[in-house]
Amino acid sequence: MPRKEISLYVHVPFCAGKCAYCDFYSIPYERITADLYKSAVIRNVKRYVETGQIVFDTVYFGGGTPSLLPGEIAEITAFLRESGALSENAEISVEANPSDICAAENALGTLRGASVNRVSVGAQSLNEGELRFLGRRHDPKMAAAALANARKAGFENISADIMLGIPGQTADSLYRTLGALAEHRVVHVSAYILKIEEGTPLAAVRLRSPEAFPGEDETAELYLRAADFLGENGFAQYEISNFAKPGFECAHNLKYWRCGEYIGLGPAAHSFYGKKRFAVPKDVEGFIAALTQETYVTEENPADFGEWAMLKLRLTEGITFAECEERGVKRETLLERASAVPRRCLRISETGVSLTAEGFLAANSVISAMI
């Protein structure tokens, strides 16, 4: 009986320092704790592998700052490989901070030698002032060096994250960042609009100086300019925030947006497996101490039409009428809902519905109307 192909997400909860905008769960990096964490990850993944029912076609190390743990990640991927838990040509991604992969000698080489074949570099910007405002630990030279070093280490699938709507960001500074990424032969770009989360240092800055932050129209213009620039340089938009050269779309993230199954390991990780969504408490010590990670169900029946359509409409491929009818929603019903949405936000074809670039900017309201 063939094994089911699913995805594996490993949350690495360590950072050398917290960025001013970040509210993801992480704690300060300590080598001893990181080693115990690694053992706990292997212990937990082993119980899934031993069932003999699944194999991982994508693995994603996110964080936190996974690039702080190249040796530990190498041990985890070695276990996956030796236990037969990886499908042939599995995509294995690691998020990397430029300052880590520049400071740690051969960190990228260690990852590449450990079957990691995709690296996502958190550049965010290649503008000094913008990086300083975000509280990043690297400068533009380090970001450029990280991208160059990834290529030298043998990575062909190199992604870069950038931020849009940073106070002081202009069309010119955005174009310089995007141009530099193209020069370094990045094949995937994730362009996220800066979101100010409550309780972060940037939330306090905005409270004191709200005028320093760009408005919605200004941020929307930067988003559209980024999409146009990337499109003109061979990057096809395939999701609200993601652009890729042909064949370099992130297979792991596509699994999320297409409602595929995945297992999440580590504190704060989420899963969709066995027709349930569940999460792990934000507790490193508890995760390390437990023989099996503690989880709690976040949703009993997530695979309904609303959730499926909400996720699929994030993709430029959108939803087809045939898929909707399989889930109990008729073509006529979908078209009636679409009539309430501004025409410039939707692309309606003979086979289905998808969002335009302007629709992506108003995604929450447009998708709400559609589902």
Q: What is the pLDDT of residues 323-342, one digit of tens each?
A: 999 999 999 999 999 999 99
pLDDT of residue 100: 85
Token digits for 88? 């042939």
Domain boundaries, the chain: 4-257, 305-370
pLDDT in tens, 271-289: 999 889 999 999 999 999 9
Closest CA to 86 of 119, 49, 123, 136: 49
pLDDT of residue 304: 83
Mean pLDDT, the chain, as a whole number?
Answer: 94
Q: Are 272 and 307 in contact (CB under 8 A)?
A: no
Residue 204 has pLDDT above 90, yes or no: yes
Give the whole-angstrom CA distance, residue 371 versus residue 366. Answer: 9
pLDDT of residue 63: 93
pLDDT band at 368 (very low <50, low <70, confident <90, very high): very high
4-257 CATH fold: TIM Barrel (3.20.20)
Q: Are 153 and 102 in contact (CB under 8 A)?
A: no
Q: What is the largest CA-CA distance in the chain?
A: 61
Question: Residues 6 or more apart from 25 whose CB is under 8 A from it?
Answer: 11, 13, 64, 267, 268, 282
pLDDT of residue 21: 92
**Is pLDDT larger for residue 102 or for residue 9?**
9
pLDDT in tens, 181-197: 999 999 999 999 999 99
Terminal-to-terminal C-alpha distance of the chain: 37
Q: Averaged over 100-115, what is the pLDDT?
A: 86
Residue 162 has pLDDT above 70, yes or no: yes
Q: Averaged over 129-134, what is the pLDDT?
A: 95
pLDDT of residue 136: 92
Residue 1 has pLDDT above 70, yes or no: no
DSSP-derived letter for residue 60 is E
Residue 256 has pLDDT above 90, yes or no: yes
pLDDT of residue 104: 65
pLDDT of residue 2: 79
pLDDT of residue 205: 92
Residue 260 has pLDDT above 80, yes or no: yes
pLDDT in tens, 51-106: 889 999 999 999 999 999 999 999 999 999 999 999 999 999 999 999 888 766 68
Among 1-10, 35-44, 184-193, 240-249, which is the least confidently predicted range?
Answer: 1-10
Work out the angle between the directed axes of helices 31-49 and 70-82 (0-180°, nearest 10).
Answer: 20
pLDDT in tens, 227-246: 999 999 999 999 999 999 99
Residue 314 has pLDDT above 70, yes or no: yes
Q: What is the pTM of this model?
A: 0.95
Q: What percent of the chain has pLDDT over 70?
A: 99
Token digits for 53? 């029912």
For β-strands 118-124 and 157-164, DSSP reports them as parallel
Q: Is 212 exposed, middle or buried (0-12, 13-18, 19+ CB in 10 A)?
A: exposed
Give the whole-angstrom CA distance, residue 102 versus residue 296. Answer: 38
Q: DSSP states of 11-31 as a string? A: EE-EESS--TT--S--EE--H
Q: Where are the alpha helices (DSSP H) in the chain?
A: 31-49, 70-82, 98-103, 107-112, 128-134, 140-152, 171-183, 201-208, 216-232, 251-257, 284-289, 305-312, 321-326, 331-338, 357-361, 363-370
Q: Are 300 and 366 in contact (CB under 8 A)?
A: no
Q: DSSP states of 284-324 as a string? A: HHHHHH-SS---EEEES---SHHHHHHHHTTBTT-EEHHHH
Token digits for 215? 């408005």
Residue 300 has pLDDT above 90, yes or no: no
